[in-house]
Structures are given as C-alpha cells and as structure tokens.
C-alpha cells in the first residue's frame, strides 16, 4: 500500500511558466515532508521541505504548499527553467520513522 503517491509520472512545461508537481499521502501521522530532485546518473538531492505546522514554505523559485486536511502537498517552480528538468520525488516522515518516498514525477521544461 503506497503511503506517498505521485500520480503523474511525467509533466511537460514551457520555459518561463509555472511547474506544479503534486503529491498525496495517506498516513495522518506524517508531519514532515520533503522534495528531492534527481538528475540522470546522480543520486537525489534535497530541494525543499515543510513541517506540518506550516502550510507554505518558499525558497527562491521553489514553493511547497501543504494541505493537511486533503493530505496533499505540491511543489511549485516559477519560472521554470530548462535546468529544472529532472525527476522529482516527494517524501514524508512521521515521528521517528524512515522517509517514505513517492515514485517520482519526471519534469521536462521545454525551451
């Protein structure tokens, strides 16, 4: 049973537009959420996180929104750049547990 779901395996966005990557979770004990970015032939690198006490966290072009009632979070990238093309993983944890990852969404930013 997947506790963290990224239902869109891929997404294409034009350069300069907004990219919105979505993530849903089922475990109400999750209280910390992270987004990772992965380029080919490299391991994932941390991008941005959010604690459940917040509903928004912003870092430059990247903003993560958390809707606890819907058990949904999203990553917004604006403006999107070709270098943002990568696979994005959503991850969640609750209490003293390992991170649980989604299956990833492949973002392609088209120039």
Partner 1 sequence: GAVVSQHPSWVICKSGTSVKIECRSLDFQATTMFWYRQFPKQSLMLMATSNEGSKATYEQGVEKDKFLINHASLTLSTLTVTSAHPEDSSFYICSADGRGLAGVTDTQYFGPGTRLTVL
Is 101 an interacting residue with respect to partner 1 (CB under 8 A)?
Answer: yes
**x-marked contacts with partner 1 along 49-68 as a string, rule CB under 8 A:** x-x-----------------
The residue within the footprint of partner 1, chosen from 64, 87, 92, 107 (CB under 8 A), is 87
- 75: tokens are 């990553």
Least separation in angstroms between residue 36's CB and partner 1 is 8
DSSP class per residue in 18-44:
-EEEEEEE--TT--EEEEEEE-TTS--
Q: Which of 99, 93, 105 is nearest to 38 (CA)?
A: 105
Nearer to partner 1 by C-beta: 56 or 103?
103
Residue 56 tokens, joined:
């928004």
**Which residue from 40, 70, 83, 111 is in contact with partner 1, where contact means CB under 8 A?**
40
Could you tell me the strand order of the sheet in which 56-59 lies? Answer: 4-5, 19-25, 72-77, 62-67, 56-59
Which CB, 28 or 45, lies closer to partner 1?
45
CB of 61 to partner 1, least distance (A): 19
31 versus 79: smaller Cβ distance to partner 1: 31
Asked whether the beta carbons of 105 and 11 are under 8 A apart, the reply is yes
């Amino acid at each position: 049973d997947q506790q963290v779901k990224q239902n869109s395996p891929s997404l294409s966005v034009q350069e300069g537009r907004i990219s919105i990557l979505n993530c849903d979770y089922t475990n109400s004990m999750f209280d910390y959420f992270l987004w990772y970015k992965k380029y080919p032939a490299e391991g994932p690198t941390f991008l941005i996180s959010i604690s459940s006490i917040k509903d928004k966290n912003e870092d430059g072009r990247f903003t993560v929104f958390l809707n606890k009632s819907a058990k949904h979070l999203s990553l917004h990238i604006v403006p999107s750049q070709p270098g943002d093309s990568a696979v994005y993983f959503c991850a969640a944890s609750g209490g003293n547990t390992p991170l649980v990852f989604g299956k990833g969404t492949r973002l392609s930013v088209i120039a």
